[in-house]
Amino acid sequence: MAGWLAVAVLVCIPCFLALFAYDAVAIFLFRRGEYQLVPFHDLARAVAQDLALVIVYAVAVTPRVITVVAGYPSRTRRSCLIMLGLGIAWYDVLCASVTRVLAEPPGFGVSLVVLFVIPIILAPWYVQWVRSWLPEEQ
C-alpha cells in the first residue's frame, strides 16, 4: 500500500501544481472565466475541479505504471513519475485549449475518452519513453 501511495503522490503533486499554475495565469493574467470581477471564486472552483481530476488520474494511472517503474532505481522512478504528472497536466491543458476553440463542447462520451481513457492507456508507454531519456544510474 505504501508503494502504491508513493507512486500516486509523485504523479499527483506535479500534476496538481501545473494545473493550478495554468488556472492562476488564465484567471488572473488573462481574466478568463465567468467571475471576471471576483477572480478568487473562479480560482477556487478551478482548484476544486483540478483536485478531483488529479485524484481520478492518480487512482486510474497508478495501477498501470506501478509495475513499469518497479524495477527502476529510486531516483529514476521519482523522475519518471514526476514527468508523468507534468505530462498529464500538459495533456489536460492542451485538451482544454482545443475545447475552447470548438463551436460546441464535445459529448460526454468523447470527453471521458479524451480526458481519461487516452492518458490511462498511454501512461506506461510515456513512463518508458521518459526513462529512455534519463541517464543510466550506477
Convert the pLDDT of each residue in 82-123 to its tens digit.
Answer: 999 999 999 999 998 888 888 888 899 999 999 999 999 999
Judge whether 119 lies within some domain.
yes
Q: Output the pTM of the full model.
A: 0.90
In a domain? residue 27: yes
Which run of H or of E encompasses 49? helix 39-69
| Dist. CA 104–CA 117, nearest whole Å | 21
Q: Domain count of the chain?
A: 1
pLDDT digits (tens, 9 = 90+) for 16-36: 999 999 998 888 887 765 656
- Rounded Cα–Cα distance for residues 50 and 44 (Å): 10
Residue 127 lies in a domain: yes
- Candidates 116, 20, 132, 112; CA nearest to 72 is 132
Examine residue 138 and state whether it is found in any structural domain, yes or no.
no
Residue ranges making up the domain that contains 51: 2-133
125 lies in some domain: yes
